[in-house]
Amino acid sequence: MKTLIISLLYPLPENTGGRMRTMNFARFFKAHGEVDILYLDPESKKINDSNIFTKEHSIYPRYQNLKNHGGKTNEWKNETKERIKRLIENRPYIVAEWSLDSCKKFKSLVENEKYDVILCRYISNSFPLFKLSEEYKKRTVIDFDDFYSEEYLRKEAATISNLYRKFKKYIQNKFVMGYQKKCLKFGAALFCSPIDLENISAYRQKENIFIIPNGQGMAYKKI
């Protein structure tokens, strides 16, 4: 079996909870075959002595150095285009921006390497997965480690006094909940605790949902 793990940060050294969770997944899949890592922050790699990963890839998802390509005017145009794209794609603010070129690089990597499993750590990194074929979507696992509950979003919106900003926040929150439910349509979904499932109760009977708590290796409970 050949697995790709997508992570914002290079997961070594294991000095944060997020890195530890990523490495727990890496060790599990390593016991079943090859494991590659795709990390999205190229500066996060500080060591080179990993014996876990067969191949290491890095793709910076956003348009790089916008200010160096046309100054503020070009930067403003790119950001405006990105906001319009987000509205069209119902892509909320919690999801990282991916340039067209970065999406193509990601799709090419997956297709060339022919991965059996694609594990995406964090919903925020998941956008390019929707560009994959149905075959690869079925092989994709989303780790809902950065799940946003409806209650949390509602409380956050309640702190805003400006009516216009409150309305924008209301619309964004609808996008967030809708996007998270869309992510459940991939091959499998992982949650850290049963509490995280309360706001997606309509989907709790799906056979592709599992609970994998933090700090307990790869122990899991099927929902």
Report residue 114 as tokens. 């022919």
Q: pTM here?
A: 0.83
Strands 140-143, 221-222: pairing is unpaired
Fill in the DSSP letter of residue 91: -
Q: Provide the pLDDT confidence category of residue 96 given band limits of 50, 70 and 90.
A: confident
> How much is the pLDDT for 208?
86
The 117-121 sheet, strands edge to edge: 56-58, 34-39, 2-7, 117-121, 140-143, 188-191, 209-211, 221-222
What local confidence, expressed as pLDDT, does residue 115 receive? Answer: 98
Q: Is residue 154 pLDDT above 60, yes or no?
A: yes
At 76, is the pLDDT very low, low, confident or very high (cuts 50, 70, 90)? low
Q: Which of 81, 86, 8 is nearest to 42 (CA)?
A: 8
Could you say which DSSP state residue 39 is in? E
Mean pLDDT throughout 83-103?
79
The share of the chain scoring above pLDDT 90, in percent, equals: 48
Topology classification of domain 2-66+94-149+180-222:
Rossmann fold (3.40.50)
* End-to-end Cα distance, the chain: 25
- Max mean pLDDT among 32-41, 92-101, 157-166 falls in 32-41
pLDDT classification of 205: cutoffs 50, 70, 90: low
Query: 158: which 2 tokens?
Result: 């309640």
DSSP 147: -
Could you say which DSSP state residue 198 is in?
A: G
Q: Return the pLDDT at 25.
A: 95
Going from N- to C-terminal start, the domains of the chain cover: 2-66+94-149+180-222
38 DSSP β-pair partners: 6, 57
